[in-house]
Amino acid sequence: MSGTHSELSVSVWRGTREGRYQTYAVPQRESQTVLDVVTFVQRHIDPTLSYRFACRVGVCGSCAMTVNGRPRWTCRTHVSKVAGDGHLEIGPLENLPVIKDLTTDMEVFFEKWQQAQGVFAPTKTRHDAIAQIRPDTPARIAADAGIECINCGVCYAGCDTVRWNSDYLGPAALTRAWTLLNDERDGGNAARLQAISATGGCHACHSHQTCQELCPQALNPTASIAGLKRRTTAAYLRGEIIA
Amino acid sequence: MNVRLYVWQRTTAAIMAPLVLVHIAVIFYATRQGMSAADILSRTQGSIAWAAYYGLFVAAVSIHAAIGMRNVLTEWLPLMERRAGRYAIAFGVLLFVLGFRAIAAVVLP
Amino acid sequence: MIARQTAYRGSALWIAAMVHRVSGLGLAIFLPLHFLALGLAIEGDAKLESFLRWSDQPVVKFAEGGLVFLLTVHLLGGLRILVIENFPWTGGQKQLATLAAAISAIVAFIFLARVF
């Protein structure tokens, strides 16, 4: 439902973990995105506002923020879709430390990526023949279903288990582990299975599916994590994992 | 939650799924009939089947509920893993002991 | 003041997860009492009998109906999770979760209808 107000009332988080929402009046324009609104505030009203963006066309994931309570890509969120009553509330992504205003510290997000062994472990060198990977094997289909993740952090920001359990690696890190687990070129599965079977690993997921609902790339981390649960259980029962 | 706790949690869940279905039927039967204690005990006393069935049920639920409780304690209270684990084990033991006591109460003549 | 809590909570699957957790907690708290009640039979049927008659009260029967709901919804929600975790992914999870709640409510209603 598109609003026909000429002006938006925009509450923007100012501060760090503590602070307050400050309200700005922003002219409403056609095809305006939430990123346009934030940019307007910073350029024309308050240059001290801190926020992140890069591509502004929905391929980099840098502009993710909490808009009216939901984590979203602001460059891909049309104001007309979310500000029906002429009001917007914009805050930083949740579950991450706030550096300032709308920028969060993503370090723990990427650390967990490493912890989940979300890193490709090569088995060949440039001197070997290129691996012939069929796109239609079940493993490759499973991997392909998860590889479009661009680390935007929306799933992490939306996950209750991340909120409740500081050890939890999170949907993005686990999805990457799943794609690598299914990558026949990768040689790091023993360590990977061990890493995601520990406290805070895939078994902490309660399948709320908020990640799947929110993912701007339409990925399904819940399904990937379910796959991880199956693989780790099988490995555990075979005695390959120390728990 | 790690893989070991997960396997115990899900295995006991799977074991209990059919047990719960039968139990619901038992609940319906016993409550509809307006059974007296004597009616109930005449059916349960000396019954090995009853003891075995509910023995399995008590063992499974003690493990399942304890692990579930552990999750709630670590996620909804700011309890550290080890402490939550101890409370959870204590709760599991409580269920196990009270459960088998209840089975003994209705099965032993 | 800290930044606002997210508003997406309240989706069907989030509610389903909360119902699963709360029902589990409710059942876990109930169980020791259930075992203690049955344990009254240790000294013969008199104590168990007076407990059963006490539980004939409508308010207790309503509470029992609530417990039947908790047990059924926890079972059905748990089965949904077991399927997600052990079988290839199927969509329609929101519908399945809603169906589980509906079936549980019906079972609890039938229980109450039979005891009144």
B64-105 pLDDT, tens per residue?
999 999 999 999 997 777 789 999 999 999 999 999 999 999
As a whole number of angstroms, the distance between CA A208 and CA A161 comes to 9
CATH class entry, domain B3-107 = mainly alpha
A31 in the Ramachandran plot: left (φ > 0), alpha (ψ -120 to 50) or beta? left
Residue A75: alpha-carbon gap to chain centroid: 15
Q: Within chain A, which residue ranges are assigned CATH 1.10.1060.10? A: 107-237
The percentage of chain A sitting over the pLDDT mark of 90, rounded to a whole number, equals: 95
Tokens of A27: 């002219």
Which residues of A fall within a CB distance of 8 Å from C13? 208-210, 213
Rounded to the nearest angstrom, the minimum Cα separation between A194 and chain B is 9
As a whole number of angstroms, the distance between CA C84 and CA C77 comes to 11
Contact B53, B23 (CB under 8 A): no
pLDDT at A58 over 50: yes
Which numeric CATH code is attached to A7-104? 3.10.20.30
Please tell me the total count of domains within chain C.
1
As a whole number of angstroms, the distance between CA B21 and CA B36 comes to 23
Which residues of C fall within a CB distance of 8 Å from B28? 110-111, 114
Among A199, A206, A238, A240, pick the best mutation site for testing chain B contact (most B Cβ within 10 A): A199
The length of chain A in residues reads: 243
Model confidence at A34, pLDDT cuts 50, 70, 90, reads very high
As a whole number of angstroms, the distance between CA A233 and CA A239 comes to 10
Q: Which chains touch B (3 or more CB pairs under 8 A)?
A: A, C
Say if B39 is an interface residue toward chain A (CB within 8 Å).
no
What's the whole-model pTM score?
0.94
pLDDT digits (tens, 9 = 90+) for B28-67: 998 877 788 999 999 999 999 999 999 999 999 999 999 9
Tokens of C19: 């119902």
> Topology of domain A107-237, per CATH?
Fumarate Reductase Iron-sulfur Protein; Chain B, domain 2 (1.10.1060)
pLDDT at res. C44: 83
pLDDT digits (tens, 9 = 90+) for A77-116: 999 999 978 999 999 999 999 999 999 999 999 999 999 9
pLDDT at C5 over 70: no
Q: Which of A203, A236, A237 sits opposite B1 (nearest CB)?
A: A203
Q: Does B1 sit within 8 Å of A241, measured CB to CB?
A: no
| Alpha-helix residue ranges (DSSP H) falling in chain A | 34-40, 79-82, 107-115, 138-144, 154-158, 160-164, 171-181, 189-196, 210-214, 221-237
End-to-end CA distance of chain B: 42
Model confidence at A1, pLDDT cuts 50, 70, 90, reads very low
Q: Single out the residue of A92, A59, A88, A89 nearest to residue A76, CA to CA.
A: A59
Rounded to the nearest angstrom, the minimum Cα separation between A182 and chain B is 19
Please report the DSSP string for A206-233 in residue order: ----HHHHH-TT---HHHHHHHHHHHHH
Say if B1 is an interface residue toward chain A (CB within 8 Å).
yes
> Residue C13 sits in which domain range?
2-115
Q: For chain B, which residues make up each domain, given as ranges?
A: 3-107
Question: Is the dihedral angle over the CA atoms A242, B5, B6, B9 positive or is it negative?
Answer: positive
pLDDT at A118 over 90: yes
pLDDT at B3 over 80: yes
Q: Within chain A, which residue ranges are assigned CATH 3.10.20.30? A: 7-104
Which residues of C fall within a CB distance of 8 Å from B40? 48, 52
CATH of the domain at C94: 1.20.1300.10
pLDDT at C105 over 70: yes
pLDDT at A229 over 50: yes
pLDDT at A192 over 60: yes
Question: For the residues A62-85, what does the mean pLDDT come to?
Answer: 94
Among B3, B6, B72, B79, pick the best mutation site for testing chain A contact (most A Cβ within 10 A): B3
Model confidence at C1, pLDDT cuts 50, 70, 90, reads low
